[in-house]
Amino acid sequence: MSSVKPEDHFKNIISHCKEYGYIFPSSEIYDGMSAVYDYGQNGAELKKNIREYWWKSMVQMHENIVGIDAAIFMHPTTWKASGHVDAFNDPLIDNKDSKKRYRADVLIEEHVAKIEDKINKEVEKAAKRFENFDVAMFRSTNARVLEYQKKIEEINARFKNAMEANDLAEVRQIIVDCEIVDPISGTRNWTDVRQFNLMFSTQLGSVSEEASTVYLRPETAQGIFVNYLNVQKTGRMKIPFGIAQTGKAFRNEIVARQFIFRMREFEQMEMQFFVRPGTEMEWYEYWKKARLNWHLVLGLGADKYRYHDHIKLAHYANAACDIEHQFPFGFKELEGIHSRTDFDLKQHEQYSGKKLQYFDPELNQSYVPYVVETSVGLDRLFLSVMSSAYKEEVLEGGDTRVVLGLPPALAPFKAAIFPLIKKDGLPELAEKIMTDLKFDHMVTYDEKDTVGKRYRRQDAIGTPYCITVDHQSLEDQTVTIRHRDSMEQERVAISQLNSILTAKTSLKSLLSQL
RNA sequence: GCGGAAGUAGCUCAAUUGGUAGAGCUCCAGCCUUCCAAGCUGGAGGUUGCGGGUUCGAGACCCGUCUUCCGCUCCA
């Protein structure tokens, strides 16, 4: 480990990503876009390799999982059914003194809860005072309780009307009228209520009068749910089975930061596993384990991963956990495993009017399947790999090197091929080796500068092997192959290079450990 | 969104109280021929994030704006 401070460590990783063609700020010549990044020549390769590792581990390695590629545009009703139109619309309000931001609806709900507490206290007090206490009678007759109850109903009705009418000024007025104070500053110095719609919307249709509002999908999962029956029927899928998908999703985050950790445009890799109701917890446990193992096989360090079980569950889930990874800025969510019950399919049944059931021949009955979801952010995964792989080493003799210890199967280039010197026919032989290997492997060629410099350049982009052609190569058709991590060399026959690279750098080397 | 810090070459950073924008590394073309970044010669690369203002003169001072980092907040 280096002695670099954590915040510098993260900065260095970001700089390294830019300097070596992994990640650039988007539209940088126009000053960039907040929280939008572009993948460069090496980043695109690494990202593609991670995606492929995921896809093959899901689709190719499981006979009962198939992949789809749904459109980003979906029928607007999809998002009503999924709950995103409502749940993704948060009215927010700031307190000008404490500078804290709150969800306006939460403030009002908490205020209502406080009044309910008061009712309960009245009931408790009365219960102590009277024998043969009739709670229901007390609640329906006590003047003070009735007054509280009336207040609650008034507030709830006002709030409901305000939200339905999208009247944000009225929402603020409710907060003012209820004399709600900021718990921190204790003041009522509120800003206006503002609506943050976390879904991006756009217009479909070229003529504005005929155009309708569509959303850029905030998750890929719904593309799977709306196609669940198509895939089940045409693929003759038998429960339990899964549908996998990778693709872009979009969220208009209020605050999007920490490099590519939270972006407004990002790529998800999701798999929805359809199971018989009642068996979902077994499958939830199965995928929880399987997914952690998938991460561990990357070899970036077992201590960098941990589970985080959700206590507060989303509206659709009956169990949920995250796999967290230790990023330079702490343990953060990398992947989510959720038992989503039959919520989504039931919702789509209701909104579409189509039956989304499965006939189970073993049970001889039809049902809406339960769903266990695994959902991982590809960009986060990229950052987890990059930040774990980045090392600043101090070598014997005091000089330093920056090396990306990428898993060889994920590295953009599997090998670099060098002539030791740029004459005596060495470049010609090196280029011939290159030409032979490139049908099967991503390889690169370099003849500039001393060979030591070239090794370091490859270390910096994470190339696991460097193949050097020297004078001996011309005589006995052997070359040296130099290992990135140990910097050790061995001499091998040119004819063996292809199979060596296949054995060490193909995805099979990872998939076979699952 | 609020508070703090910052923005000068591809990267890391200089530039005295306001007085001609520089260095190292990288990169490119050669020379040299050596298995772990360090030899030699030459070269490219900047309206100092952007826009105003003060001044004889602004990289520096003032205002606005954009972007990034840290903290708060948010994350179905």
Query: What's the pLDDT at A101?
Result: 66
A192 touches strand B (CB under 7 A): no
Closest by CA position to A308, among listed A271, A339, A334, A282: A334
Gap between the Cα atoms of A235 and A238, Å rounded: 9
pLDDT exceeds cutoff 90 at A318: no
Question: DSSP states of A85-129 as a string?
Answer: HHHTEEEEEEBTTT--EEEHHHHHHHHHHHHHHHHHHHHHHHHHH
Residues 6+ apart with CB under 8 A from A294: A54, A57, A514
A299 by DSSP, 3-state: which? coil
A94 touches strand B (CB under 7 A): yes
A342 touches strand B (CB under 7 A): no
**Quick one: CA torsion of A360, A366, A372, A375, rounded to 10 degrees?**
100
Gap between the Cα atoms of A321 and A376, Å rounded: 12
Distance of C1' in B32 from CA in A467, Å: 23
Chain A 44-73 residues whose Cβ is under 7 Å from strand B: none
Query: What's the pLDDT at A99?
Result: 60
Distance of C1' in B7 from CA in A244, Å: 43
Which pLDDT band, with edges at 50, 70 and 90, does A185 fall under? Answer: low
Q: Which protein residue lies nearest to nucleotide B27, measured between its Cα and the C1' atom?
A: A448
CATH code of the domain occupying A1-73+215-394? 3.30.930.10
Which is more confidently placed, A310 or A315?
A310
Task: Report the run of H or E that residue A289 belongs to, with start and end.
Answer: helix A280-296
Both tokens of A48, joined, read 């593609």
Domain with CATH 3.40.50.800 in chain A: 405-511
* Nucleotide with the nearest C1' to A99 CA: B2
pLDDT exceeds cutoff 60 at A1: no
Domain with CATH 3.30.930.10 in chain A: 1-73+215-394
Gap between the Cα atoms of A419 and A421, Å rounded: 5
A129 touches strand B (CB under 7 A): no
pLDDT exceeds cutoff 50 at A29: yes
Least confident of A53-57, A128-132, A304-308, A364-368: A128-132
Largest CA distance in chain A: 108
pLDDT exceeds cutoff 60 at A4: no
Query: What's the pLDDT at A100?
Result: 64
Question: DSSP states of A427-491 as a string?
Answer: HHHHHHHHHHHTTTS-EEE--SS-HHHHHHHHHHHT--EEEEE-HHHHHHSEEEEEETTT--EEE
Gap between the Cα atoms of A360 and A249, Å rounded: 33
A315 touches strand B (CB under 7 A): yes
Q: What is the Cα Rg of chain A in Å? A: 29
pLDDT exceeds cutoff 60 at A121: yes
pLDDT exceeds cutoff 70 at A87: no
Closest by CA position to A329, among listed A253, A406, A261: A261
Least confident of A57-61, A186-190, A231-235, A336-340: A186-190
Listed in order, strand segments (DSSP E) in A201-313 are 201-204, 212-215, 241-250, 265-275, 305-309
Which is more confidently placed, A52 or A38?
A52
Which pLDDT band, with edges at 50, 70 and 90, does A44 fall under? Answer: very high
Query: What's the pLDDT at A504?
Result: 96
Q: Which nucleotides of B are covered by protein (CB under 7 A)?
A: 1-3, 7, 10-12, 26-29, 32-38, 49-50, 66-76
Contact A251, A267 (CB under 8 A): no
Distance of C1' in B55 from CA in A458, Å: 52
Stretch A354-366: mean pLDDT: 94
Helix axes A41-55, A378-389, angle to 10 degrees: 110
pLDDT exceeds cutoff 90 at A501: yes
Question: With pLDDT > 70 as the criterion, what percentage of chain A qualifies?
Answer: 92
- A379-418: pLDDT as tens digits: 999 999 998 999 888 877 667 788 999 999 999 999 999 9
Candidate CATH numbers 3.40.50.150, 2.60.120.10, 3.40.50.800, 3.10.180.10; the one for domain A405-511: 3.40.50.800
pLDDT exceeds cutoff 60 at A2: no
Which is more confidently placed, A180 or A64?
A64
pLDDT exceeds cutoff 70 at A208: no
Listed in order, strand segments (DSSP E) in A358-399 are 358-360, 365-367, 370-377, 390-394
Residue type, A493: A
Most confident range (mean pLDDT) of A29-33, A297-301, A448-452 is: A297-301
Question: With pLDDT > 90 as the criterion, what percentage of chain A qualifies?
Answer: 54
pLDDT exceeds cutoff 60 at A3: no
A399 touches strand B (CB under 7 A): yes
Query: What's the pLDDT at A97?
Result: 62
Strand partners, A201: A215
Tell me, rounded to whole angstroms, the distance of Cα A509 from its chain centroid: 25
Peptide bond into A369 cis (omega under 30): no
Query: What's the pLDDT at A184?
Result: 65
Average pLDDT along chain A: 87
Dihedral of alpha carbons A175, A180, A184, A190, sign: positive
A202 touches strand B (CB under 7 A): no
Which is more confidently placed, A164 or A112?
A112
- A411-451: pLDDT as tens digits: 999 999 999 998 888 999 999 999 999 999 999 999 988 89
Stretch A310-326: mean pLDDT: 83
- A249-278: pLDDT as tens digits: 998 877 777 888 888 889 999 999 999 999
A282 touches strand B (CB under 7 A): no
Least confident of A43-52, A157-166, A323-332: A157-166
Q: How many residues does chain A have?
A: 514
DSSP secondary structure code for residue A318 in this structure: S
